[in-house]
Amino acid sequence: MTEADLIRLLSERFHGNFADETARRVRDAGAVDLLYEVATAPHPELPGPVRQKVLFRGAYVLEQIYFDAPEAFMPRAESFCRVDFAACANASAQRHFGKIMADLLGRYAPESGDLERIAETAAGWAVSPEAKVAVKVWAVEVLKRCRERVGWVAESWDDIVEAVALDATPGIESRMRKSWKTKR
């Protein structure tokens, strides 16, 4: 599978089993490294709408691979924690990267400087008025994993949750009741 093949695959018509089928094809072709590069690179040569679609769908398929076959993703964990999570500027891809990171922090221990950057990025996504609901949810889940490891996250936890609670959707309100309250 070439990069052009993968970009074409990611930009084709979306269908019900898109992530499952595309993840299988990428794994079968031994192209997880290529998918990772495509999902984390800006692709300035592509027209804007195609670039955004490729970044979002690439992140979606990468998430599918992460949860179906974590061992296929783990060689990229250091790069994901060090650079690529924080560099994700695609609002749709942030949801998938947040979901991966929330789980990854339970399996992998990034260096403290990387953990700081992860927490800073997640905090920015969590409180951004422009962030989509799912991005906010997964950003707070990332911060929840950082709480015991990054001092300022623990100190500002209640303030972060309060900021996310402003104009909260029912989904966010439910998360707040179930898992984001400070245990006293």
Per-residue model confidence (pLDDT) at position 142: 97
Cβ distance 80 to 100 under 8 Å? yes
Whole-number pLDDT of residue 171: 74
Q: Tell me how crowded residue 44 is: count the other CB atoms within 10 A of its CB.
A: 7
Average pLDDT, the chain: 92
Mean pLDDT (whole number) for 24-35: 97
Q: How far is the C-alpha of 20 from the C-alpha of 2, rounded, in Å?
A: 19
Residues 6+ apart with CB under 8 A from 59: 39, 88, 90, 92, 93, 95, 96, 97
Q: Once rounded to an integer, what is the mean pLDDT over residues 100-122?
A: 96
Over residues 126-133, the mean pLDDT reads 91
Note the pLDDT of residue 5: 95
Is the backbone of residue 30 left (phi > 0), alpha (psi -120 to 50) or beta?
left
Pairwise pLDDT comparison (102 vs 161), residue with the higher score:
102
Nearest to 118 by CA among 78, 159, 66, 81: 81
**Average pLDDT, stretch 102-121?**
96
Weakest mean pLDDT among 45-54, 133-142, 148-157, 172-181 = 172-181
**Half-sphere CA count of 47, side-chain side, radius 13 A:** 4
Q: How far apart are CA 105 and CA 142, in angstroms?
A: 8
State the DSSP H helix or E strand holding residue 165, giving kind and residue range, or none if neither: helix 151-165
Residue-level pLDDT at 128: 93
